[in-house]
Amino acid sequence: MGADLNAASELVTSCKVSYFDSSEAGRLAILTLDNGADHRKPNTFGEQGLASLLAAVEEVGGQSDVKGLLLTGKPFVFAAGADLGGFEGMDEARAREAARRGHEAFGRLRDLPFPTLAAINGVCMGGGLELALHCDYRTLSASAAGVAFPEVFLSIVPAWGGTQLTPRVAGFANALIVIVGNPLNSNRVLRAARAAQLGLTDRLLPATDFFEESLATLEGLVTGRLPLPAREPSTDGLDEALATARRAADDRVHGATRAPYVAIDLIEFAARGGDLAEGLRREEQALAELLPARQAQAAVYSFGLTQQRVKRQPWKPATASRRIAKVGIVGAGLMGAQLGALFLQRFEVPLVLTDIDAGVLEQARRHIDGELDARVAKGRLRPGKADHLKSSVTTSTDVADHAGADFVLEAVAEDLGLKQRIFADLEASVDAGCVLATNTSGLSVTAMAAGLLHPERVVGLHFFNPVAVLPLVEVVRTKATSDEALATAFAVATTLRKSAVPCADTPGFVVNRLLTRFMGACGQAVNQGSGFTEVDDAIKELGLPMGPFELLGLVGPAVAAHVARTLHEAYPDRFALDNNFQMLGSSGVPGVYDWSNGRVPYSEVTERWQVSAAGGQRMTAAEIRDSAVEAVADEIAVMLDEGVVADARDIDTCLLLGAGWPFFLGGICKYLDQTGVSQTRFGRTLVSATDHAATRPEPGMPLGASGDPLLAARADEHLAGFGEE
**CA 672, chain centre distance (Å):** 21
Give the DSSP per-residue string, 146-178. Answer: -EE--GGGGT---TTTHHHHHHHHH-HHHHHII
Residue 534 has pLDDT above 60, yes or no: yes
Rounded average pLDDT over 372-394: 95
**Active site annotation includes 630:** no
pLDDT at site 81: 82
Choice among 141, 214, 482, 512 that is catalytic: 512
Number of H helices, E strands in the chain: 29, 19
If phi over 0 gives left and psi between -120 and 50 gives alpha, with beta otherwise, what is residue 81? left
Q: Which of 15, 54, 57, 59 is nearest to 34 (CA)?
A: 15
Give the pLDDT band of residue 465 (cuts 50, 70, 90): confident
Give the pLDDT band of residue 47 (cuts 50, 70, 90): confident
Q: Which of 673, 634, 41 is nearest to 301 (CA)?
A: 673
Average pLDDT for the chain: 91
Q: Kindly report each contact of residues 320-324 with a partner whose C-beta sits within 8 Å and lies 24 or more positions away, as own/partner.
A: 320/484, 320/487, 321/484, 321/487, 321/488, 321/490, 321/491, 322/406, 322/407, 322/433, 322/434, 322/435, 322/484, 322/485, 322/488, 323/406, 324/349, 324/406, 324/407, 324/488, 324/491, 324/492, 324/495
Torsions phi, psi of 514, nearest 5?
A: -70, -40
- H/E element, 555: helix 548-555
pLDDT at site 258: 98
Q: Is 347 helix (H, G, I), strand (E, B) or coil?
A: helix
Higher pLDDT, 696 or 152: 152
Distance, CA of 160 to CA of 710 (rounded, Å) = 46
Q: Kindly report each contact of residues 719-725 with a partner whose C-beta sits within 8 Å and lies 24 or more positions away, as own/partner.
A: 719/641, 719/642, 719/643, 722/506, 722/570, 722/642, 723/446, 723/505, 723/506, 724/444, 724/446, 724/447, 724/478, 724/479, 724/505, 725/444, 725/446, 725/447, 725/450
* pLDDT tens-place string over residues 598-622: 999 999 999 999 998 665 678 999 9
Residue 384 has pLDDT above 70, yes or no: yes
Say which amino acid occupies 253. V
**Active site annotation includes 462:** yes
Rounded average pLDDT over 498-509: 95
Say which amino acid occupies 583. M
| Residues above pLDDT 70, as percent of the chain | 93
Residues 6+ apart with CB under 8 A from 271: 167, 172, 175, 233, 235, 238
Residue 565 has pLDDT above 50, yes or no: yes
- H/E element, 328: strand 327-330
Rounded average pLDDT over 92-98: 95
Rounded average pLDDT over 107-133: 96
- H/E element, 124: strand 123-125
Say which amino acid occupies 262. V
- H/E element, 204: strand 203-205
Residue 2 has pLDDT above 70, yes or no: no
Residue 347 has pLDDT above 70, yes or no: yes
Rounded average pLDDT over 339-361: 97
Q: Which of 144, 179, 140, 139 is nearest to 162 (CA)?
A: 179
Q: Using CA of residue 503, residue 508, residue 510, residue 511, what is the dihedral sign? A: positive
Catalogue all structural domains in the chain, each as residue range(s) with its CATH number: 14-292 (3.90.226.10), 327-502 (3.40.50.720), 511-719 (1.10.1040.50)
**CA 338, chain centre distance (Å):** 19
Distance, CA of 71 to CA of 105 (rounded, Å) = 14
Residues 6+ apart with CB under 8 A from 489: 435, 437, 459, 461, 475, 500
Neighbouring C-beta atoms of residue 713, cutoff 10 Å? 10
CA distances for 505 relative to 369, 478, 587, 694, angstroms: 35, 6, 30, 20
Neighbouring C-beta atoms of residue 255, cutoff 10 Å? 12
CA distances for 362 relative to 98, 129, 354, angstroms: 58, 47, 11
Rounded average pLDDT over 66-92: 90
Distance, CA of 295 to CA of 281 (rounded, Å) = 22
* pLDDT tens-place string over residues 468-481: 889 999 999 999 99
Give the pLDDT band of residue 43 (cuts 50, 70, 90): confident
Distance, CA of 156 to CA of 288 (rounded, Å) = 10
Q: Which residues of 606-638 are buried (b: 16+ CB within 10 A; e: fewer)?
A: eeebeeeeeeeeebebeebbebbbebbbebbbb
pLDDT at site 616: 66
**Active site annotation includes 597:** no
Distance, CA of 265 to CA of 633 (rounded, Å) = 36
Q: Verify cis geometry, omega within 30 degrees of 0, for the bond prior to 466.
A: yes
pLDDT at site 45: 86
Distance, CA of 404 to CA of 176 (rounded, Å) = 53
Distance, CA of 534 to CA of 522 (rounded, Å) = 10
Beta strands 600-601 and 593-594 are: antiparallel
pLDDT at site 614: 66
Choice among 462, 562, 568, 692 that is catalytic: 462
DSSP strands (E only) in 348-491 = 351-354, 393-396, 407-410, 435-438, 458-463, 472-477
Give, in degrees to the nearest 5, the angle at Cα 465 between 317 and 704.
35
Choice among 6, 52, 321, 441 that is catalytic: 441
Distance, CA of 54 to CA of 405 (rounded, Å) = 58
pLDDT at site 555: 84
181, 241 contact by CB (below 8 A): no
Q: Which of 347, 99, 137 is nearest to 222 (CA)?
A: 137
Higher pLDDT, 688 or 42: 688
pLDDT at site 699: 35
Distance, CA of 556 to CA of 526 (rounded, Å) = 19
Beta strands 116-120 and 137-141 are: parallel
Q: Which of 26, 148, 47, 131 is nearest to 95 (CA)?
A: 47
**Active site annotation includes 414:** no
CA distances for 394 relative to 231, 362, 712, 718, angstroms: 57, 11, 50, 46
Q: What is the dihedral angle through the alpha carbons of 133, 139, 143, 149, rounded to the nearest 10 degrees?
A: 10
Q: Which residues pair with 22 in a beta bridge?
A: 26
Give the pLDDT band of residue 580 (cuts 50, 70, 90): very high
| Residues above pLDDT 90, as percent of the chain | 83
Distance, CA of 353 to CA of 365 (rounded, Å) = 9
Residue 38 has pLDDT above 80, yes or no: no
Choice among 410, 474, 484, 635 that is catalytic: 474
SS3 sequence of 595-664: CECECEECHHHHHHCCCCCCCCCCCCHHHHHHHHHHHHHHHHHHHHHHCCCCCHHHHHHHHHHHCCCCHH
SS3 sequence of 9-49: CCCCCEEEEEEEEECCCEEEEEEEEECCCCCCCCCCECHHH
CA distances for 145 relative to 28, 192, 202, 358, angstroms: 27, 7, 17, 41
Residue 703 has pLDDT above 60, yes or no: no
Taking each helix axis from N to C end, the angle separating 511-527 and 579-586, rounded to the nearest 10 degrees, works out to: 110
476, 461 contact by CB (below 8 A): yes
Give the DSSP per-residue string, 475-518. Answer: EEE-SS--HHHHHHHHHHHHHTT-EEEEEES-TTTTHHHHHHHH
